[in-house]
Structure 1
Amino acid sequence: MPVPTRNSTGSGSGTDTSADAGTRTHTRMPLAVYILGLSVFALGTSEFMLSGLLPAVADDLHVSIPRAGLLISAFAVGMVVGAPLLAVATLRLPRRTTLIALITVFGLGQIAGALAPNYAVLFASRVVSALACAGFWAVGAAVAVAMVPVNARARALAVMIGGLSIANVLGVPAGAVLGESLGWRSAFWAVGGASAIALVGVATLIPRIPVPDEKPRLRRELRIYRDRQVWLTISLIAFAAGGVFCAFSYLAPLLTDVAGLDEGWVPAVLALFGIGALIGTAIGGRIADAHLFGVLLSGMSASTVLLVALALLGQYAVAAAVLALLLGVSAFYTAPALNARMFDVAAAAPTLAGATTTAAFNLGNTGGPWIGGAAIDAGLGFASTAWAGAALTVAAGVLTTISLRLHRRRASSRLVTGAQAAPTAVTAPTATPVGGRSDQPESTPKYG
């Protein structure tokens, strides 16, 4: 698949200009997109694996479990800060070179964590790894979008998100098994090895992305933040992610203390969530390009219903396990659409779009568990985290509805303006390159 050209705004445009190209939905994904998914597998495993290693880490480094838990928070905060920071810092650098540098730093961070002699060094290694992880997500998403036509964006992003889903299904449990059998440091070595494989793939298979005719300028790219649709998208991503992880972060104690499930079954139920995430990503990535808002609204509605059901039926082990699977489906079903929506409203700044999306997701991943913890501390019980999560997904749905109305209003305004400016003489229609970009702030794929 040829690499798309890039116009002066730095946004990708498809190379296929045939009249029916925009209607095709089965665009073949470049191998390089799957390499990015493999890289995200390593990133995601490192991000989430500490949840199963905290007791061992705390014991070995002579700190309390709550203090060891700050290692997870440090990674999340590093993702929020690192995504826009690294996007700005690397704005004018070649994309492939940037990806190589970031995956290298990330891998070195895993090695530093494996060799860490004390808590302070491990903490520092997590922050560095998070910064590199955030930068790779942001730049990688922009590269994935640049390598495919506009009608395949969500599918390309779904491949990257699929790497995160597989990390939850395979990587995180494998890290827990390694930690129990060979010590927690072995899990860091394993992720370091996966990062080395990803580095080889990025260096050899990621193509050179053509440089825009005009060099990216930070001031111009920052203009995307003047658009209220960008802020609406940031908010709905944060609320959607926060709602799901508000409940998921405390699923283990809900299963054991509320449902009465034996601790040995908890990893299996968590793996069910990961399997559901993989299924949801595959389905959402297939249809989000054609029905973006339809995916968002249906997915968030489903998550709300499932969270309410979890709050009401969480005392039954079988029901809780089934709902965990379905919640993984509904949550990640919307993920490709959420990513694609940001690239639509911030088309003039694709790297900052990827960075902003990464930061928004991690705001939700950080804020959701905090809200759930506050509910538990208030004495409302573990089931209250599902009620709180449902409230957050309802808010995300409301914001999505507002965004859809603004989108339709803007599209109608452009149609009226175009009709008023149209010549009265009958002229032949002008072909528009598929996937090409206008100077409008949003692209206009079919939204159902």
Structure 2
Amino acid sequence: MGTFAVGTDAFVVAGFLPDMAASLHVSTATAGQSVTMFAAAYAVLSPVLATVTARVPRRALLVGALLMLGLANLGSALSPSFPVLIVSRILAAAFTPNAGAVAATLVRPEVRARALAVVVGGLAVATALGVPLGDVIGRWLGWRGALGAVAAMCLLVAVAVSAIMPMLPGGPRVPLRTRLAVLRRPAVLTVLPLTVLGMAAAYTAYAYIVPALRAMDIGESSTVWMLFLYGAGAVFGNLAAGYATDRWGSVRVLSAGYLTMAAALALLAWMAASGIALPALAGLLMLAWGGNSWCQTPPQQHRLIATAPREAPLVVSLSSSAIYTGIGAGTLLGGFALPHGTPLVYLSGAALAAVALIFLLATARKAFHG
């Protein structure tokens, strides 16, 4: 529930990006950098917040993070200018790494990937439901109303988490230097860069999906269904990856995911360049793109925890940093590519997915195989 709120907050702007850009008097590419700033703040703050809040009881910490997220969204909804919007987006970052660390401690090691898939599944479900709903609400109430709805949802989820989650004590305070010392492990150094590459590939085009779909002659009325298909693929891919990783190992799951994602994005680039309007094919490609974007997180987190099981909270916070570094880098790259045409945006994502596959195969022997 909590990661659903976070995911909706992170990605909802994709549904109304052109309208938000026009309202704040900036270009669509510039408005997309609000996603980059959210992701960058998340990436930098994850290990810092994990250190500062280590001793806080887990339920109080998660509820407090959700309350902060709700207030930050309210600030975004009321932003009079783009710089104020950016500040409010930076303030919205604290929940997901703590949620993943809690999940890892509540279950047996043999089902850990499935538990992480449930938590990460909140982010995936947000792309299936939160973002399309944001698109619909944005049309009815405007983009400010959509962000206000996200703020209300964060506050409601905070109440629900407070009522449902069991009491769990905080852990010992671990200095930031000790947390970052995990980065010296060769296995960790092979996993985290792959997460950055894979998420960058997945999100090069996502923040700009509305103008990208319009360039493919897909009407505004069909956009919400395309977003839903992407999100449905994300939910299925995430949950299936958890079970598949426990059964067949992470390297096989990741290899199939990167290969399929590269192919789907390359075909979308071809459709955009040729001007062929095939909504059914575009929908299938959106489904494949979403599924293989979110199939990578459970196996990657599973690999990290296996390399340092005693430092699970540490490596999960670093994993969240890598995820949002990738999202920010991909969105930044997409913003640079967008003025040069939609095909280049898709091709950039496809190229990064291919690089991620090559990196995985080159480093698989050095890291945990799952």
Question: Could you give the per-residue CA deviations for residues 17-69 of structure 1, whole angstroms, max 9, x where no partner exists?
Answer: xxxxxxxxxxxxxxxxxxxxx11111111111122334444455555555544
One of 335, 338, 348 as aligned partner of 2:297: 335
Aligned partner of 2:200 in structure 1 is: 242
Q: 1:143 to 1:279 in 2, by over 3 A?
A: same
d(CA) in 1 for partners of 2:26, 2:338: 24
Partner residue, 1:383? 343
Percentage identity across paired residues of the two chains: 32
Is the contact made by 2:59 and 2:162 (CA closer than 8 Å) also made in structure 1?
Answer: yes
Asked if residue 355 in structure 1 is aligned to residue 314 in structure 2, the reply is no
Q: Which residue of 2 aligns with 1:366?
A: 328
Corresponding residue of 2:218: 261
1:163 to 115, 122, 129: 122
Determine whether 1:101 maps to 2:64.
Answer: yes
Q: How far did 1:88 drift?
A: 2.1
User: In 2, are the aligned partners of 1:137 and 1:354 still within 8 Å (CA)?
Assistant: no
Aligned amino acid, residue 388 of structure 1: S
The gaps in structure 1 that reach 5 residues or longer are 1-37, 409-445
- Alpha-carbon distance change, 106 to 375 in structure 1, aligned in 2, over 3 angstroms: closer
**1:86-125 residue pairs with structure 2 within 5 A?**
86-125=49-88
**SS at structure 1 position matched to 2:246:** coil
Distance 1:324 1:148, change over 3 A: same
Cα distance in 1, alignment partners of residues 354 and 244 from structure 2: 22
How far did 1:405 drift? 0.8
Aligned counterpart for 1:79 among listed residues 42, 45, 68? 42
CA 391–179 in structure 1, closer or farther in 2 if over 3 Å, else same: closer
Cα distance in structure 1, aligned partners of 2:78 and 2:232? 32
Give 2:261's aligned amino acid. Answer: S
Amino acid at match of 1:385: V
Deviations for 1:94-147, whole angstroms, at most 9, x for unmatched residues?
322221221121112122333444444433222111x2xxx2111111001111
Question: Once the 2 structures are TM-superposed, how far is the Cα of residue 169 of structure 1 from its aligned partner?
Answer: 1.8
Q: Could you tell me the TM-score, scaled by structure 2's length? A: 0.89
| Deviating more after overlay: 118-127 vs 238-247 | 118-127
Q: Distance in 2 between matches of 1:313 and 1:333?
A: 24
Q: Deviations over 1:372-410 (max 9, x none)?
A: 444455x4x4223333222212222222223321247xx
On the 8 A contact 2:116/2:242 being kept in 1, the answer is yes
1:236–1:395: 8 Å Cα contact kept in structure 2?
Answer: no
Structure 1 residue 76, shift from structure 2 partner = 1.9
**Residue pair 2:191, 2:367 contacting (<8 A) in 1 also:** no
Greater Cα shift, 259-268 or 228-237: 259-268
Aligned to 1:19: none
- Correspondence list, 1:401-416, <5 A: 401-407=361-367
Distance across 2 between alignment mates of 1:248 and 1:120: 22
Secondary structure class of the residue paired with 2:107:
coil
The TM-score, its normalising length taken from structure 1, stands at 0.74
Q: Which residue of 2 aligns with 1:400?
A: 360
2:2 aligned partner? 39
**Equivalent position to 1:53, from 4, 16, 35:** 16
Residue type of the alignment partner of 1:164: L
Counterpart CA distance in 1 for 2:88 and 2:332 is 23
Could you tell me whether the CA contact under 8 Å between 2:138 and 2:146 is conserved in 1? yes
1:299 to 257, 265, 268: 257
Cα pair 1:224 1:348 within 8 Å, conserved = no
Q: 1:233 to 1:104 in 2, by over 3 A?
A: same
Partner of 2:99: 140
Contact 2:37–2:328 under 8 Å retained in 1: no
Q: Which amino acid aligns with 2:238?
A: T
CA contact (8 A) 2:197 2:352 kept: yes
The amino acid of 2:107's aligned partner reads: V
**Could you tell me whether the CA contact under 8 Å between 2:59 and 2:168 is conserved in 1?**
yes
Residue 346 of structure 1 deviates from its aligned partner by 3.4
Answer yes or no: is the 8 Å Cα contact 1:138–1:352 preserved in 2.
no
The Cα of 1:215 is off from its aligned counterpart by 5.5
Across the aligned residues of Structure 1 and Structure 2, the Cα RMSD in angstroms comes to 2.5
Q: Distance in 1 between matches of 2:232 and 2:250?
A: 23
Residues 146 and 179 of structure 1: CA distance in aligned 2, closer, same or farther (over 3 Å)? same
> What residue in structure 2 maps to residue 194 of structure 1?
153
Q: How do 1:209-288 residues align onto structure 2 when only pairs under 5 Å count?
A: 209-210=168-169, 216-257=174-215, 259-288=216-245
8 Å Cα contact 2:59-2:166 kept in structure 1: yes
**Maintained 8 Å contact 2:186/2:367:** no
| Gapped regions of structure 2 (runs ≥ 5) | none
The one-character-per-residue Cα deviations of 1:403-433 (angstroms, maximum 9, x if unpaired) are 321247xxxxxxxxxxxxxxxxxxxxxxxxx
- Distance verdict in 2 for CA 1:252–1:68, change over 3 Å: closer
After superposition, the Cα gap between the structure-2 partners of 1:89 and 1:367, relative to the gap in structure 1 and judged at 3 Å, is same
Would the alpha carbon gap of residues 283 and 375 (structure 1) be closer, same or farther in structure 2, given more than 3 Å must change?
same
Structure 1 SS opposite 2:91: helix
**Would the aligned equivalents of 1:230 and 1:345 in 2 still touch at CA under 8 Å?**
yes
Deviating runs (4+, > 6 A) in structure 1?
none
Provide the C-alpha distance between the structure 2 equivalents of 1:215 and 1:87, rounded to a whole number of angstroms: 9
Letter in 2 for 1:362: Y
Higher helix share: 2
Q: Is the 8 A contact 2:190 2:366 kept in 1?
A: no
Contact 1:45 1:171 survives alignment (8 Å)? yes
Deviations 1:235-294 (A, max 9, x none): 11111111122243444444332x332233222212211111111112112221232222
Q: What is the CA–CA distance in structure 1 between the aligned matches of 2:47 and 2:173, rounded to whole Å? A: 18
Which amino acid counterpart does residue 333 of structure 2 have in structure 1? I
